[in-house]
Amino acid sequence: MAGLAGTFVPSALALARGAAPGAKPPPRKPAVKPRPASPPGGEGEPEISVDARSLAEIVKRRYGDHLTFEQLEAVTRELDGRIRSGQRLRAVHLANADEPDCTFEA
């Protein structure tokens, strides 16, 4: 463990000394603009996709005896939201040098 600390501590101290006191990193632009939340069942709610309806049919076949109509509609909306989230995630293009955003805590 001492060898590991000896490796990271000097580089961390050098990094800390190199930063100007009080300097703020430049603000980062969000990759995706947040969309305003619309109330469930509101007029601004988009139409449920065919994929979500197809997946909901599978849920209905398997668990339809145990779900009410309202519960099945809620499941369909949830599936549609997850499908749309996946589409938005795939639409974000990353450069080769983009690294994961992670926080290291010791």
Give the whole-angstrom CA distance, residue 106 versus residue 89: 30
State the pLDDT confidence band at 58, using cuts at 50, 70 and 90. very high
Distance CA 4, CA 14 (A): 16
**What 3-state DSSP class applies to 103?**
coil
Would you place residue 98 in the very low, low, confident or very high pLDDT band (cuts 50, 70, 90)?
Answer: confident
Summarize pLDDT for 22-41 with one digit per residue, the tens.
555 556 665 555 555 555 55
Question: What pLDDT does 12 receive?
Answer: 60
**Gap between the Cα atoms of 70 and 78, Å rounded:** 12
pLDDT of 102 reads 83
Domain residue extents for the chain: 46-93
Residue 88: CB partners within 8 Å, gap ≥ 6? Answer: 32
pLDDT at position 14 over 70? no
Reported confidence tier of residue 3, pLDDT bands at 50, 70, 90: low
Mean pLDDT score across all residues of the chain: 77
DSSP secondary structure letter of residue 47: P
Distance from chain centroid for Cα 13: 33
